[in-house]
Chain A
Amino acid sequence: MKKLLINKIGFISTIGFAVVTAFTIASCVASQKVASKSGAQLWAENCQHCHNTPAPGSFSGDQWETIGMHMQTRALITESERNKIVEFLQAAR
């Protein structure tokens, strides 16, 4: 009986979790203000979070492409943020 109850609780919480997750993912859109940020602004805001803000001249354009991917795995920035930041770094160097 106890086991059944636990199973039921487990089942309900799994469903609950799935529903919440689904809703959260579905509502994952950036607000207008966030979506319109420039690469320079995103670089200034995101890239000083863990270490000092990296200077664009430190790497070549191709290298920034690779490092952008590397930092996406560390900082878990969104892909659109990564693309804008990499474009900015390539243009500003």
Chain B
Amino acid sequence: MENYIWNKRKRVSTVGILTVATWCLVFNLADAQQMLTREEQAKKDSVTDARIAMLEKHAALHKPGLDHFVVVGLTTFGYASGKTTSNDGSAPLKASAFGTDSYEFSPMLLWRQGKKVLLEFEPSFNNDGVGVNWAAISYFAKPNLIFRGGYFVVPFGMYTKKLAAAWINKVATDPIGLPTAQDYGFGVSGGLPLGSMKWNYDLAVTNGLTIDPTVNNGTLTNVNLGAAARNKTFVGRLGLLPFSNNSLEIGVSGMTGGVSNGNMTYADVRANLYAFDLNYVKNLSPVLINVKSQYNVVDVGTATYVNPLDATKSYTFNNSSTSGYGQLSIRPTESQIDFIKNLELAFRYGQYNTPKNSVWGANTTQTDYGLNYWINWRTVVRVTYEVLNSKSTVDQSLFTSPVPNTKTQAFHIQFSIQL
């Protein structure tokens, strides 16, 4: 009996020990398991933390809403067919081609960083090959003060900087005799209120112009990045919008600089240029009236040039050119018929007088009649008929055979779109 009791006790305690041991094991295992998951979790957490930190850093760099890139630009293509006749009895010259005045592919890349910095880069492929129209950075320093540096269209006149894009222009060609285009430089600009009027300024210092060293006949070309471009050129335009409805803007421009570019033959020769421009756009029910005009004067100091027929002789002339154009276009914006509403009639007359007695002297007139069909505000199909009449004013003694007067008539069909 005693043995039995002992045995029972032994059994009970064995079971007890086993139970406790099992519990311990289970608990321990669970604990170990838990420790393991915690470790794993911590590891996972640190990976997530690192990823979040990285994303935050990325987001901070990216600043959504403050850092933007836009691709805009334009393309133009068309066909031109023309005939040039001369008064020297030679056979008329006929030419028809895609392109000429009507081929351009220019994507424009705009970046902005916040509301202070804007970069614009516009490479352009046209019949001159691949070039660049704009590669400039603008810094919006104050509400009415923008600094600009790089390669940009110089602020002279209105057409080249503001109206030259084919989807903006009203006829298929540029006006004749525009004296300047792009240059490397630095500038300031801005627009300010003036009571019920407004005015704006656009000033720059650029590398400027030089007497074209490839022909040495008094024509000007850009110095570009030429090493000897020590004579910086100052150029600027002041604009005034005298009416509170912004319908009219008039502008006056000036440009002055030495043109020697290190060539001692032209050491003291300067070029002084002036321009006046006018832009009037007004709804005169039932039509929209659009008047554009610009007049340019280019005065280059007197210099002597080598006679092309006899290098031992020289010649000189008064190196002064004038050019100008006036343009009127009318659009029946209030017509009930969509097709009519999208039509626009345009007329432009231009003149370009280059120096008399130079080897490039001529009085040229340019007359354009145009009809535009606007597919939408930035897409146009147009036809333009243009007549160029050129009367030579060269010093005929500088040529072996007389330089004739010419007349060119051309018909253009063009498509242009802003993208």
Contacts and interface: CB of A to CB of B under 8 A. Distances in A.
B41 to A, nearest CB: 40
Nearest to A41: B245
Interface stretch (B136-144, B315-323, B353-361): B136-144
B193 interface: yes
Given A25-B192, A30-B193, A67-B72, A74 B161 contact: yes
B338 to A, nearest CB: 15
Interface string A36-61: 00000000011011111111001100
Interface string A60-89: 001101110110111111111100000000
Interface residues of B, number: 49
Contact of B378 (A54, A74, A77): A54
Given A45-B246, A67-B110, A24 B194 contact: yes
A55 B376 contact: yes
B200 A76 contact: yes
B109 to A, nearest CB: 11
Interface string B230-261: 00000000010000111101000000000000
B348 interface: no
Chain B interface mostly helix, strand, loop or mixed? strand
A2 interface: no
Nearest to B118: A69
B247 to A, nearest CB: 8
Given A33-B244, A55-B376, A28 B194 contact: yes
Contacts of B199: 24
Interface in B122-143: 138, 140, 143
B198 A78 contact: yes
Range of interface residues on chain A? 35 or more
Contact of A72 (B65, B120, B146): B146
Contact of B112 (A29, A45, A69): A69
B195 A31 contact: yes
Contacts, number: 113
Interface string A15-41: 000000000110111110111000000
Contact of B377 (A45, A51, A78): A51
B168 interface: yes
A78 B68 CA distance: 22
A66 B108 CA distance: 13
A46 B246 contact: yes
B237 to A, nearest CB: 9
Contacts of A73: 118, 120, 138, 146, 148, 189
Contacts of B195: 27, 29-31, 34
Given A67-B70, A69-B140, A73-B138, A49 B120 contact: no
Interface in B249-287: 249, 279, 281
Given A31-B193, A66-B70, A78-B192, 4 more contacts: A27-B194, A28-B144, A50-B162, A79-B140
12 contacts: A31-B244, A33-B196, A34-B196, A34-B244, A49-B246, A49-B281, A51-B377, A55-B377, A65-B68, A76-B189, A76-B239, A78-B191
